[in-house]
A and B are shown apart, each in its own frame.
Chain A
Amino acid sequence: MPDCLSHSLLLRVVGGLTTGSIYALIALGYTLVYGVLRLINFAHSEVFMFGTFGGLIPLIWLSHHGNVTNAWYLAIAAIPAMAFAAGIAFLLERLAYRPLRRRGATRLSFLISAIGASLFLQSVVLVWRGRDYETYPDTWKVKQLFTIGNVQISNHDILVFGVMIVMVIALDLLVHRTRIGKGIRAVAQDPETAGLMGVNIDRIITATFIIGGILAGVAGLMYGLRFNTRFDIGFIPGIKAFTAAVLGGIGNIRGALVGGIVLGLLENIGAGCFGDQWKNVIAFGVLVLVLMFRPTGLLGEGVSAQKA
């Protein structure tokens, strides 16, 4: 067994699980919107980025008024993070996509508009916050909880993974057990009939974007907790999350989970074996290969079956 696999495999797995969890959370947003609209929401990476700021700014404000080194503050910050991200997602749908939908615009127009929105949102944050990287104030201190072999597992690792699992379960329940979820599934499966059956398509679409935004907001909080943020941090995780969504099966919720984890693992193990400089190539390579040879992904297409 090559050294990179035997020696540090567990290390890589832990790293892969935590990175992969963030990819999975963002991927859920992509996969939901795609399932309902057949549209890749390019600007979802910026929704995620706004989520990181949604958590950052209240925490900074609070930290000026007292000590925030308490895990509860992290939980409190989740609310503005989700709200901020969901708000951006809502505006995105209303202002950038809905007018095009009404007009019956081509898919190309949507893609171009999405790219434009993505750039614009980045520049808004650039002008607003500047170019410096920003860090979350210390809330929940990193603590090495336990050690397996030579690998230390911290409370943050468990948190990120755990939150992701909870969110996936929650989303799954939402989609399969609630009214809105039924509407989403209906529109994803056959919009025309759903409309005929009395489903308010516009409302469902709005709801989809908002839900995706909430998930991205949570992802943003987890990301901000562990890494630094700035206007352009959405781009690479966004692409990787999209890769994850496609890898798992676009439109498939469990697929986003599987895709995220698998991609995170591949990346970390690949980086261990070949060197970190190839990490992004691995991610892009996976994307290209999956799209070329198995575009339906590992778990197949989900919330609906694909029409042309």
Chain B
Amino acid sequence: MKGILIFAAIIAAVLGWTQFDRRFGDRIRSYYDERERWGFPVVMLGSLVILSLLSLVLSPPNLELAILVGIYALLAMGLNVVVGFAGLLDLGYVAFFAIGAYTMAILSNAGPLHLPWHLNFWEIFPIGIVIALVAGLLLGAPTLRLRGDYLAIVTLGFGEIVRILAENLEKVTNGAKGITAIPHPSIGGHNFGVGQKPYYLLLVAAVFLFILIIRSLNNSRVGRAWAAIREDEFAAESMGVPTLKYKLWAFAIGASTACAGGMIYGAKISFVSPESFQFIISIYILSAVVLGGLGSTVGAIIGGAAIILVPEMLRSLPERLLDARFGVFGLALVLMMIFRPEGIVPSRRRKAELKGGAAETMGPIGAGLPPGAEMATGTVEDAP
């Protein structure tokens, strides 16, 4: 019973927010834009301080949740670059998360390969990022020429292939049994151990770091190229934008963000196995991005938080409905696309694109016709 009440409260809260945004959103955004030069650092520092202080206030179970939120926020941010900025639908995104986790596991020598070195977390981290960049490029190079739908399916295939490889390559990944006893990070002799605070702070730092990286990319030539590709790839090409190069950028950035999340995850839980990297996770991350707001980094973070926290809040629902949590996400995706494709926290640019007929539409099948227009009711043989 309580669960249903909470559910209703959430729905109404979202609706309330959308109304608020409709009325005041643009005004607030313009206000912020005018003051952005000093506004942005203030907001960032302020959030950083508040979030760090939270680590002292939250209880350990809540910190555990916060850590999951942090990881999903990273994942959503990364996918947002691929889907939201560059407009490429990647359905195999969980593969990069897996690559991060397994990189941490294998390179720290916890796996079946007996490597001749001993690297700690901080040394593996940059190596992992590089590996992810390469993986992103490897995945992107052959596939980014493909049309949107095909790209989606190919990436789905890649995601599954990575998972199946993790299951089958026993000698490297220990197969389905997974790799245990992955060492925890230490700073100056102080080992992170199994607690929560240090990982939480590490994640906060990682999220902020990637926010900065992504933002600076988005505000540069790269971001403008992404917008051009997203809005009309052919026009962009003909204007001389090297689309393939910038699409690869997007893939690579997305991959490294997910990888960062994976590495922290592996070091915290100390155990990785293929079970944690099913296809459905890619869908959860995609839902987070879409619900939060395609093309909005803040939206992606909020989406990531929602994906973790909402099911937690609804734990008291009857069992069968609880089972169907993913179905609610599915329904939310459909409804979002129909009524509010810009997401809960929209990026202005995207809102304009998504609402009103961007160039890459379905053509006369839908766009050209005014709503409700039916063609002449006759069939082909009645035509003149």
Contact = CB atoms under 8 A, between A and B. Distances in A.
Nearest to B377: A200
A38 B362 contact: yes
B149 A288 contact: no
Given A197-B383, A199-B380, A200-B377, A120 B330 contact: yes
A101 B365 contact: yes
Contacts of A108: 83, 87, 89, 148
A159 interface: no
A113 B334 contact: yes
Interface string A117-134: 111111110110011000
B161 A285 contact: yes
Nearest to A123: B327
A186 B372 CA distance: 21
Contacts of B371: 102
Most interface-central of B158, B327, B383 (chain A CB within 10 A): B327
Contact of B358 (A101, A106, A113, A246): A106
Contact of B376 (A120, A200, A239): A200
B330 A118 contact: yes
A172 interface: no
Interface in A66-111: 95-96, 99-111
Contacts, number: 220
Contacts of B83: 108
Nearest to B327: A123
B167 interface: yes
B149 A39 contact: yes
Contacts of A242: 153
Interface in A213-253: 239, 242, 246
B327 A191 contact: no
A99 B164 contact: no
Contacts of A183: 379-380
B286 A112 contact: yes
Nearest to B376: A198
Interface in A262-284: 277-278, 280-281, 284
Contacts of B164: 277-278, 280-281, 284
Contact of B375 (A113, A127, A195, A292): A195
B283 A119 contact: yes
A27 interface: no
A117 B334 contact: yes
Nearest to A34: B149
B240 interface: no
B327 A127 contact: yes
Interface residue range, chain A: 35 or more
Interface string B70-92: 00000000000001000101010
B333 A287 contact: no
B157 A288 contact: yes
B158 A288 contact: yes
Interface in B340-363: 341, 353-358, 360-363
A200 B369 contact: no
A197 B168 CA distance: 56
Contacts of A291: 143, 146, 150, 153-154
Contacts of A96: 334, 338
Nearest to A101: B366
B378 interface: yes
A115 B155 CA distance: 14
A40 interface: yes
A111 B338 CA distance: 12
A109 B329 contact: no
Contact of A191 (B149, B154, B363): B363
B-side interface size class: 35 or more
A126 B152 contact: no
Instruction: Name A's interface SS.
Output: helix
A103 B91 CA distance: 25
A120 B326 CA distance: 7
Nearest to B333: A116
Contacts of A198: 375-376, 378-380, 382-384
Given A112-B333, A201-B375, A124 B327 contact: yes
Contact of A111 (B149, B329, B341, B362): B149
A187 B363 CA distance: 12
A152 B368 CA distance: 57
Contacts of A1: none
Contacts of B327: 119-120, 122-124, 126-127
A156 interface: no
A279 B286 CA distance: 27
A166 interface: no
Interface string B134-178: 000000001100101110111011101100110110000000000
A96 B335 CA distance: 8
Contact of A116 (B91, B337, B380): B337
Contacts of A192: 363-364, 368
Given A37-B365, A116-B333, A295-B150, A197 B357 contact: no
A155 B301 CA distance: 56
Nearest to A92: B334
Given A107-B148, A107-B149, A199-B375, A284 B157 contact: yes
Given A104-B367, A117-B330, A277-B167, A112 B362 contact: no
Contacts of A124: 324, 327
Contacts of A116: 287, 329-334, 336-337
Contact of B142 (A113, A127, A239, A292): A292
Contacts of A64: none
B381 interface: yes
B234 A119 contact: no
Interface of B: 83, 87, 89, 91, 142-143, 146, 148-150, 152-154, 156-158, 160-161, 164-165, 167-168, 234, 283, 286-287, 290, 320-321, 323-334, 336-338, 341, 353-358, 360-369, 371-372, 374-384
6 contacts: A104-B361, A117-B334, A182-B380, A198-B383, A277-B168, A285-B161
Interface of A: 37-40, 95-96, 99-113, 115-124, 126-127, 130-131, 179, 182-183, 186-187, 191-192, 194-195, 197-202, 205, 239, 242, 246, 277-278, 280-281, 284-285, 287-288, 291-292, 295, 308
Give 6 closest A-B pairs by Cβ, nearest first. A123-B327, A116-B333, A119-B330, A101-B366, A104-B367, A198-B383
